[in-house]
């Protein structure tokens, strides 16, 4: 516990010293809210299914029903999920002027629910859906509600299949969002990585980009990452426990 206390205090000190701090979050940031991650050996979403068979754009175009069958229980969890203390901690840091933005790989919208204002969702979100035929974009709430009731693939008025605005394997990340995230990665003097394994590109390279421009790096994640050796502080613990303590130290100091 003493080592953890020391690491948390050191992380808080670095955040206090930073002039332009940015957070980057991954699936581990939302697991305390009841949303499973993708890569845990037994409980991860990819432990049960081949991601290329259900969550690639190629598979979606060939068999959208398989994608919707797979995402249905996950969509239920996301709709019911509430922000956890780690989400609120980042929102507090931003409101206090200590954090400029949150770059997230998550599609659940929990950062916004917690009050974060400047959020870059590099893997998309579930708030809208786009027709794969006519490219009409619509709010996804009613589509998701009907889909959860009936289990049927939602269709556009033109007859095309509606696809949620989440990034599937084989798709490019949203250019404007990715560009903004990269700009903040270059501009920041500290990046806080929370709940990300840093295994999915190109998002995994954003902390490396920050380091290349002289930023300090804090990593809070249960499992080791490829950048642990280059980070100033590494905490292998629960983000929902660690981040609120860091935020409290930074804001009340």
Catalytically active residues, by annotation: 123
Q: Which two tokens stand for residue 229?
A: 């050796």
Helices (H), the chain: 2-17, 51-54, 57-62, 64-80, 85-95, 110-114, 141-150, 175-187, 206-212, 239-252
Q: Which two tokens stand for residue 162?
A: 């509606």
Q: Which CA distances in Å does 149 have to 67, 70, 143, 145?
A: 16, 15, 10, 6
Find where tokens 């840093």 sit: 198
Count other C-beta atoms under 10 Å from residue 180's C-beta. Answer: 16
Strand order in the sheet with 124-131: 137-139, 124-131, 162-166
């Amino acid at each position: 516990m003493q080592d953890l206390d020391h690491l948390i205090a050191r992380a808080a000190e670095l955040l206090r010293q930073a002039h332009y701090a940015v957070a980057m979050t991954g699936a581990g940031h939302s697991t305390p809210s009841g949303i499973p991650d993708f890569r845990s050996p037994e409980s991860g979403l990819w432990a049960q299914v081949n991601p290329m068979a259900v969550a690639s754009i190629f598979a979606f175009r060939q068999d959208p029903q398989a994608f919707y069958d797979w995402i249905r229980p996950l969509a239920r969890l996301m709709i019911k999920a509430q922000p956890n203390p780690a989400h609120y901690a980042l929102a507090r840091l931003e409101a206090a002027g200590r954090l400029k933005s949150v770059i997230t790989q998550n599609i659940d919208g929990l950062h916004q629910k917690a009050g974060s204002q400047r959020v870059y969702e590099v893997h998309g979100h579930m708030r809208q859906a786009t027709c794969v035929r006519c490219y009409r974009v619509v709010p996804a709430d009613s589509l998701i509600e009907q889909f959860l009731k009936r289990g049927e693939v939602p269709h556009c008025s033109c007859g095309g299949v509606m696809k949620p605005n989440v990034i599937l394997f084989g798709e490019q990340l949203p250019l404007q969002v990715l560009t903004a995230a990269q700009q903040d990665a270059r501009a920041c003097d500290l990046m806080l990585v929370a709940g990300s394994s840093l295994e999915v590109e190109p998002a995994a390279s954003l902390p490396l980009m920050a380091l290349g421009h002289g930023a300090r790096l804090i990593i809070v994640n249960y499992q080791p990452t490829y950048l642990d050796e280059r980070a100033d502080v590494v905490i292998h613990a629960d983000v929902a426990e660690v981040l609120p303590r860091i935020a409290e130290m930074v804001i009340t100091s």
